[in-house]
Structure 1
């Protein structure tokens, strides 16, 4: 490789590095905003989930159409959360893989009527390739989360489940634990799953955007300390007095919980996308730095070799004369 070619490649890598570095900073800023949205929503989510699940478990006659499992599954709905754009590592590939696994699982069980609610362009494109029925276009939600739109989707799903148009509804998304950890999750939306413990999906750390090994170790120790404090805390009183009647309570609580579940998954997916993109761009920037180091070393060696060859030519000419 000539000196000019090496110099051009160094300039090209430098240009790419500037882009990846800028994209990392943008993703970091968006992640901070997404973490703030989750943090603002968490207290309400925790209390509502506790009240509803504790109420349904402690009251034997608190049965609704939304917490009864269907013996036979004929029609399934999948709410799949992806992103609209790429450059976020394996974020979309993992979601698509889990969606395909879910589809294959149900098809093997004899269920062929599968409807997909794609939150994000990547999920919509893949669902179309698989020949699945799309319930609509929700790509805008991947970039601009909206509690109102999520409430509309949740109401539609709940209505169809109650009318037995759907026998089961699942969510497929990335659960945001921290900036360096996003867990691929397949979660039952309907019927309401009472077997999961309260607070199972509330193990997030929203205090940092750092993804280094030391930062992750610090966050792990911090979580362990907080879990001990939670164990020592007194549980809430679950002795309920039902007014005006159980039907009215359930008709109010259950739609709120379903709306919140859908919106929470969207916020988790949104934060996970930005975290994945931030890590991917950081890795690309680090790789560019390493490549620049190698290219600069190669350039200096080639330049030194060219100077040495010129000196040898001059010396050889002098001796011949």
Structure 2
């Protein structure tokens, strides 16, 4: 059995660790709030762009652009989003696992030399380099400071390579942020763009809460007001729906903007998911520290009481002998 001094030292050590995990949880909560605000600021632009695109789809336009045409796949680019730091649970491990699985499938089909990796985050960049993959560019700073311009540059680079025939398909791997307690790992096609499926994707996000305990999540689900989300039906203005100069030209301008939005949205979702995952991990670590402290304090009190009882027995036994 450990001595009282050893138990007391361990209690002090656990207390110090608990202070660190609790502080990290508060920092992650603050960063999550800022990430949620960034997503909210992006939503009006997303809503208006989708409304415009739905208007053209409702017009039953048969125009096609180079960005939505399928072709035989000979080379693929993967854009993978992770974090720059650790201590966020299985966030990075899950992204890396999906990336390795996707690379393996593509390597079996078209060869490993025909798979390019665009890592957004230091963890996935280090893993890709360690595995010897074709790593293109360094976008780690985007994770710490999400930037619209750099996302547009990345989307334009991917669009240029796709238009020039250097790559035949571009895929995204990232976490879709649904709430502080739920992040969905997503693997989808970026280019060629399927406009209809992209407009019908899951838009649900809880951007109002940073509560992550199971009890609190259950309470929010029971008492949350039901939102009447009613999408306006978009119809042509009349039978003679006129587009100037022509439908193909307009879609050629709109689809790159949708591509820019997809990259930026994936980045914001990934950043918010990282902070939420870190907050959950630090909350779990703090709860485990509390439980360990309770057990150590109980063990300390029992050992202390046993030592006192032993000393009393020695004193009583000595007085009887005398």
Q: TM-score, normalised by structure 2?
A: 0.93
Cα 1:154–1:221 shift into 2, 3 Å:
farther
**Cα offset, 1:57, TM superposition:** 6.9
Which residue number corresponds to residue 237 of structure 1?
A: 235
- What value does the CA root-mean-square deviation take over the aligned residues? 1.8
Cα 1:196–1:204 shift into 2, 3 Å:
same
Cα 1:100–1:54 shift into 2, 3 Å:
farther
Cα 1:238–1:9 shift into 2, 3 Å:
farther
Stretch of structure 1 that moved more, 49-58 or 74-83: 49-58
**Cα offset, 1:273, TM superposition:** 0.2
Query: What SS is found at the alignment partner of 2:199?
Result: coil
Query: What SS is found at the alignment partner of 2:110?
Result: coil
Which residue number corresponds to residue 306 of structure 2?
A: 305
Task: Give matches, 1:180-219, under 5 Å.
Answer: 180-196=181-197, 198-219=199-220
Which residue number corresponds to residue 138 of structure 2?
A: 137
Which residue number corresponds to residue 147 of structure 1?
A: 148
CA contact (8 A) 1:65 1:162 kept: yes
Which residue number corresponds to residue 35 of structure 1?
A: 36
**Cα offset, 1:124, TM superposition:** 0.3
**Cα offset, 1:214, TM superposition:** 4.2
Task: Give matches, 1:160-309, under 5 Å.
Answer: 160-196=161-197, 198-220=199-221, 225-226=226-227, 229-231=228-230, 234-239=232-237, 240-309=241-310
Q: Which runs of 4+ in 1 moved over 6 A?
A: none
CA contact (8 A) 1:46 1:202 kept: no
**Cα offset, 1:212, TM superposition:** 2.6
Q: Deviations over 1:113-149 (max 9, x none)?
A: 1111100000101111221111111111111100000
Query: What SS is found at the alignment partner of 2:117?
Result: strand
Stretch of structure 1 that moved more, 41-50 or 95-104: 41-50
Which residue number corresponds to residue 61 of structure 1?
A: 62
**Cα offset, 1:320, TM superposition:** 1.4
Q: Deviations over 1:146-187 (max 9, x none)?
A: 000000000000010001101000000000000110000001
**Cα offset, 1:42, TM superposition:** 1.0
Pair 1:75-2:98 in alignment = no
Which residue number corresponds to residue 96 of structure 2?
A: 96
Query: What SS is found at the alignment partner of 2:187?
Result: strand
Measured in 1, the distance between the counterparts of 2:184 and 2:9 equals 41
Query: What SS is found at the alignment partner of 1:225?
Result: coil
Q: TM-score, normalised by structure 1?
A: 0.93
Measured in 2, the distance between the counterparts of 1:129 and 1:156 equals 24
Measured in 2, the distance between the counterparts of 1:186 and 1:224 equals 31
**Cα offset, 1:254, TM superposition:** 1.4
Pair 1:84-2:84 in alignment = yes
